[in-house]
Amino acid sequence: MRIATWNVNSITARLPRLLAWLESSGTDVVCLQELKCSAEAFPAEQLRELGYEAVVNASGRWNGVAVLSRVGLADPVVGLPGGPPFDGGQEARAAAATCGGVRVWSVYVPNGREVGHPHFAYKLEWLAALRKAAEPDAAGELPFAVLGDFNVAPTDDDVWDISRFDGATHVTDAERAALAALRDAGLADVMPRPLKYDHPFTYWDYRELGFPKNRGMRIDLVCGNAPFQSAVQDAYVDREERKGKGASDHAPVVVDLEP
C-alpha cells in the first residue's frame, strides 16, 4: 500500500497537478492539507472518477484537510476531538478514516504566526489535543499514522539554516516538545532512514528562489505507531512534484507499506 501526505496550498489551484499525480504515482491513500475551499467546492466527482473516496473537513478560504482512498474508507472522523477553538470556533484542521486496514489522520497544525501571539498558544494547545486524540489508536494493534503539515521542524537539521530562524516559530523548544509528546504516545517519525537527499525538506518558500537553492524545511511528517513502523518498506519526498509551473510550495511525502 502506498500512502502519502501533501499540503497542496489550494486544491482548486492544484487540481490538474493533483489528478495527474494520483494517476502517475500509484498512491492508494492521500492525506491533503490546506485545501482552501468550502466543502461544496471540493472536487469529489473528479476524484471519484479516479477511484478515490474522500472524507473532507473544509470550511472556506483557509485551512481544510481531506483523506482520499481507493482502498476503502471506513469510520470517518471530521475535526479533532477535544480540539481547542480559535476566534470562537473550530478550524478545519483534522480528518481521519480507516483505509485498507490502516488508520490515518490528516492534520494541518496551526502555524503559530509568531512567538507570543495568541495563535502560538493555540498551536501548542492543538498539538496537546492531537496527542490525546491519537493515544488510543497509537496503542492499538491496527497500523496507525498521523500525517500532515505539522508546522514544526523536528531538529535543527530539518531547516536549511538554523541561524535564520532565531526567535521564530517552527523551531522553538516549546513546539518541538509538543511534537515529541506524540513520540511519547507511541508515534514515531518514519523518515529517519537512508534517503536520496541529505536534507529531505518538504517545504520551500516561493520567494527568493527557495526551491532552486534548496532553502527548505522538513515540516510535513508521517508519524506512525509500532505496527505501522514495522510495515514501512520505503519513505521519500517526491521533490519532482515541487518543480515546474503551478506547483505547491510543499512536496508530497510518500510511504510504502508491505502488503
What residue type is assigned to position 26 of the chain?
G
User: What are phi and psi for residue 96, nearest 5 degrees?
Assistant: -140, 160
SS3 percent helix, strand, coil of the chain, rounded to 5, is 30, 30, 45
Alpha helix positions (H), the chain: 11-25, 44-49, 118-138, 173-184, 226-231
Q: Binding residue per annotation — 151?
A: yes
Does 206 qualify as catalytic in the annotation? no
User: What are phi and psi for residue 229, nearest 5 degrees?
Assistant: -60, -40
The strand pairing partners of 222, in sequence order, are 147
Does 250 qualify as catalytic in the annotation? yes
Q: Binding residue per annotation — 7?
A: yes
In angstroms, the CA 110 to CA 257 distance is 28
Query: Is beta strand 2-7 parallel, antiparallel or unpaired with respect to 53-57?
Result: unpaired
Active-site residue, from 28, 52, 108, 203: 108
Does 117 qualify as catalytic in the annotation? no
Active-site residue, from 137, 170, 203, 250: 250
Q: Binding residue per annotation — 45?
A: no
Residue 194, SS3 per DSSP: coil
Q: Binding residue per annotation — 258?
A: no
Active-site residue, from 28, 149, 189, 220: 149
Is 109:92 a contact under the CB 8 Å cutoff? no
Q: Binding residue per annotation — 225?
A: no
Which amino acids are annotated as binding site, given as ranges?
Answer: 7, 34, 149, 151, 249-250
Catalytic residues: 108, 149, 250
Binding-site annotation, residues for Mg(2+): 7, 34, 149, 151, 249-250
